[in-house]
């Protein structure tokens, strides 16, 4: 199997980036990183708190720094935040520094997977499903243009998705 220097997982919240990333890292013998977890580690607070005090712009600035640093490492699987692809610097760094896999699922599936998670500030709204549909409309073309591969996670277990990604890397 061809072993990528780095493998970056992009996609919407609830697509399975963290779960699949951890299993993939184990299967490929690579280190696992999660950009949101790294931002939380560095700030000492959770993502909703960053949004509360700095807004989405403040969070995106922190995210840009973390993505730039993490993508310069070698031998990692990186799970990114759902909005990482909004920033052109992030898209460039991801696509030029590793293999990018877009984990795709529908807004309805995202809603099912995230509806009980209070740590999602972008879903703190009257109609979270409508918000997911709006976000996907904006982000879907960016995910696709950044990705080397698109893998559907809809109604699939993490193990099956990991096997598919491994076969794509062969």
- Indicate if the pLDDT at residue 3 is higher than 90: no
Could you tell me the residue ranges of all domains in the chain?
A: 6-169
pLDDT at 160: 96
pLDDT at 113: 81
pLDDT at 111: 87
CB 165 within 8 A of CB 151: yes
Report the mean per-residue pLDDT for the chain. 92
pLDDT at 4: 55
Is residue 129 classed exposed, middle or buried when 0-12, 13-18 and 19+ CB atoms within 10 A define those classes? middle
Question: What φ, ψ does residue 150 adopt, rounded to 5°?
Answer: -115, 125
pLDDT at 43: 96
Question: Whole-angstrom Cα distance, residue 80 to residue 10?
Answer: 6
Q: For the CA atoms of 114, 118, 119, 124, what is the dihedral angle to 10 degrees?
A: 90
Q: Which CATH superfamily includes the segment(s) 6-169?
A: P-loop containing nucleotide triphosphate hydrolases (3.40.50.300)
Alpha carbon of residue 101 to chain centroid: 9
pLDDT tens digits, one per residue of 47-103 = 989 999 999 999 999 999 999 999 999 999 999 999 999 999 999 999 999 999 999
Percent helix, strand, coil in the chain (nearest 5)? 60, 15, 25
3-state secondary structure of 130: helix
């Amino acid at each position: 199997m061809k072993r990528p220097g780095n493998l970056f997982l992009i996609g919407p919240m609830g697509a399975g980036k963290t779960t699949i990333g951890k299993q993939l890292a184990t299967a490929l013998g690579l280190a696992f990183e999660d950009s949101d977890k790294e931002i939380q580690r560095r700030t000492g607070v959770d993502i909703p708190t960053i949004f509360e005090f700095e807004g989405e712009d403040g969070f995106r600035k922190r995210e840009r720094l973390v993505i730039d640093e993490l993508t310069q490492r070698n031998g990692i699987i990186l799970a990114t935040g759902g909005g990482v692809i909004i920033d052109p610097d992030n898209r460039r760094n991801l696509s030029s520094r590793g293999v990018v896999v877009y984990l795709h699922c529908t807004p309805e599936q995202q809603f099912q997977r995230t509806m009980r998670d209070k740590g999602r500030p972008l879903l703190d709204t009257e109609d979270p499903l409508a918000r997911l549909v709006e976000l996907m409309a904006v982000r879907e073309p960016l995910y696709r243009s950044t990705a080397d591969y698109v893998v559907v996670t809809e109604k699939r277990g993490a193990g099956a998705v990991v096997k598919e990604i491994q076969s794509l890397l062969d």
